[in-house]
């Protein structure tokens, strides 16, 4: 596997992880609204985003990495490179060939 292929694999994973987290947050949204609408509870801080941003994130959340625009992929690629560099810099002597992939979501 060359560097570009590795970056694409990690970027795909990063997008998948982000999408999973966003879907999870969205699934809990109704629950949170009910919780925070109870008068004796502390109100949550409301953060507002532009409608266009929200619509873009919603679309990206449901779009597989391979179908994103190149510009959108670049954002995930930047994070992929950071992760790869972090691993390389901190594990130069590690033998990855025997790595046990426990916790992999199948």
Nearest to 7 by CA among 105, 87, 69, 95: 87
Whether the CA torsion 4, 74, 21, 19 is positive or negative: it is: negative
> What is the structure's pLDDT at 87?
87
Higher pLDDT, 43 or 70: 70
Q: What is the mean pLDDT of residues 63-75?
A: 95
Whether the CA torsion 92, 18, 11, 80 is positive or negative: it is: negative
Greatest mean pLDDT among 25-29, 58-62, 90-94 lies in 58-62
pLDDT at 63 over 50: yes
Higher pLDDT, 94 or 78: 78
Is the pTM higher than 0.75? The answer reads no
The full set of domain ranges for the chain reads 1-10+33-87
Is the CB of residue 60 less than 8 Å from the CB of residue 68?
Answer: yes
> What is the structure's pLDDT at 106?
40
Higher pLDDT, 44 or 67: 67
Q: Poorest-confidence range of 23-27, 32-36, 102-106?
A: 102-106
Please tell me the distance from the alpha carbon of residue 83 to that of residue 102, in angstroms, as a whole number.
19
């Amino acid at each position: 596997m060359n560097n570009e292929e590795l970056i694409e694999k990690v970027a795909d994973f990063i997008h998948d992880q982000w999408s999973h987290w966003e879907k999870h947050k969205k699934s809990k949204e109704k629950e949170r609204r009910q919780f925070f609408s109870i008068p004796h509870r502390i109100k949550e801080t409301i953060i507002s985003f532009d409608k266009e941003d929200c619509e873009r994130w919603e679309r990206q959340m449901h779009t597989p990495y391979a179908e994103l625009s190149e510009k959108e992929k670049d954002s995930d690629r930047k994070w992929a490179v950071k992760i790869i560099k972090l691993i390389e810099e901190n594990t130069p002597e590690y033998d990855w060939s025997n790595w046990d992939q426990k916790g992999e979501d199948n």
